[in-house]
A and B are shown apart, each in its own frame.
Chain A
């Protein structure tokens, strides 16, 4: 009888330790996937910085054009930011691609979450997925608005290039561009807030999982 009790205790300990070992293994895999995702996030952040620089150049062009008289058609045509705008489009596509990849890589941790036995760890990792989904939603909104803005900017410069100096249209386009800028600013602010929350949850999780 004593032997049987001893055996049950040993098996219980074994099961417990095996469970811990399994969560640890999931954490290691999650870590790996997150690192992979983060490498694309870094590229995405770099793309955003490039976009920021290009936007500044477009602003300079816009300021230049504003200082001209509409009779200086040749000077206006020389300055319109076709090149910068197409560059901006390309950088935006790259940023979107990198963000999407980062997102997909991160979503791969779902299969690990299912295998986590510790409830707290499971909760933390689920939070990570939820936060990443929120970031994705915001970024999709951001990319849509950005494309809309680029369309308005292209249209604005096209009108100038084609000598179509209709003030109502030009002012309408400027209004849309500025509305979009304001909206994107707000989206980025929210995105940053969620990113900070994401970082905090990630650190907490790895502490729980004893990987830090």
Chain B
């Protein structure tokens, strides 16, 4: 049996043949690509194994230490010049600076009463927790124009000198306490037991950066040691000695009952000599003991 293919059928058959041919060609080409592809492999991207170490050790390095010493030496020259200038003014006025450490205390109001009675001024270097305990006395000091300074928080050598930043940390805390109580922001500080020997150059540098003025003294009343009338006698002699030498006395006293007991005698003498008491200010160049090789870390 023979079947006739119509014209339409012929056209469709031709399309079919062409399609099959194209498909076969594509498959052949594809196979070739696959073969080529099989020789390739997908290499993953490498991750970065690099490190970024911080530049450590600068804080303790000899270079930094030597720079601190240089900066401190430069500042010391400037401080000495400023102190000398202030001293000239103070000498003309027969000025004397009375300073009381460790307060405020239960006897602070009595102390202020005594000073008031002699119409004299003084500067108080106060301990943070004591300020919180005797806020009224602190406000009275401020209202009556006494000098307000800082004496740290712990008053323990083992703590306040325990690390390079410990003094600045304690004084900063004390400064905040005083400011909260009195509204006065004081930069005047006195280190417990004085800045020699435990206040290292590094500590001085950090205090300086914190804008603190380290105040020591040149007349130690020794009230803390003698605890009786003898301290008055000793202080009178020292004041005279310094006055004669042309150096304005900065007298170390303490906010303690035994100091108060004989204080009128001392103040009476100061008045009789015609000396004028003044308060320390943030702007004043401080009288500070210099290390000169005598400072060492407590730890």
Contact = CB atoms under 8 A, between A and B. Distances in A.
Interface of A: 3-4, 7, 10-11, 14, 17-18, 21, 24-25, 28, 31, 34-35, 38, 41-42, 45, 48-49, 51-52, 55, 59, 62-63, 65-71, 76, 165, 167-168, 170-171, 174, 177-178, 181-182, 184-185, 188, 191-192, 195-196, 198-199, 202-203, 206, 211-212
Contacts of A211: 37, 40, 42
A21 B36 CA distance: 15
Contacts of B159: none
Interface size on B, as a range, is 35 or more
A66 B40 contact: no
Nearest to A70: B66
Given A31-B37, A196-B47, 14 more contacts: A7-B12, A7-B15, A10-B20, A21-B27, A49-B50, A66-B57, A70-B66, A76-B63, A167-B67, A184-B52, A185-B51, A199-B45, A203-B42, A211-B37
Please indicate which of the listed interface residues A11, A42, A62, A198 has the most CB atoms of chain B within 10 Å of its own CB: A62
Given A24-B33, A35-B40, A69-B62, A11 B9 contact: no
B77 interface: no
A58 B42 CA distance: 37
Interface in B57-98: 57-58, 61-64, 66-68, 70-71
A145 to B, nearest CB: 10
A9 to B, nearest CB: 11
A45 B45 CA distance: 9
User: Which label, helix, strand, loop or mixed, suits the secondary structure of the A interface?
Assistant: helix
A185 B71 contact: no
Nearest to A171: B58
B46 interface: yes
Contacts of A49: 50
Contact of B45 (A17, A41, A68): A41
B58 A28 contact: no
B53 interface: yes
B52 A67 contact: no
B43 interface: yes
B30 interface: yes
Contacts of B261: none
B44 A202 contact: yes
A4 B11 CA distance: 12
A28 B30 CA distance: 10
Contacts of A52: 50-51
A3 B9 contact: yes
A6 B15 CA distance: 13
B283 to A, nearest CB: 22
Nearest to B56: A178
Please indicate which of the listed interface residues B16, B52, B58, B66 has the most CB atoms of chain A within 10 Å of its own CB: B52
A203 B27 CA distance: 25
A59 B62 CA distance: 16
Contacts of A14: 19, 22-23
A38 B42 CA distance: 10
Contact of A181 (B47, B52, B64): B52
B1 interface: no
15 contacts: A3-B9, A7-B16, A21-B26, A24-B33, A25-B33, A28-B36, A28-B37, A35-B43, A48-B50, A66-B62, A69-B62, A188-B48, A195-B48, A196-B47, A199-B45
Contact of B62 (A11, A17, A67): A67
A165 B50 contact: no
Contact of B42 (A62, A178, A185, A212): A212
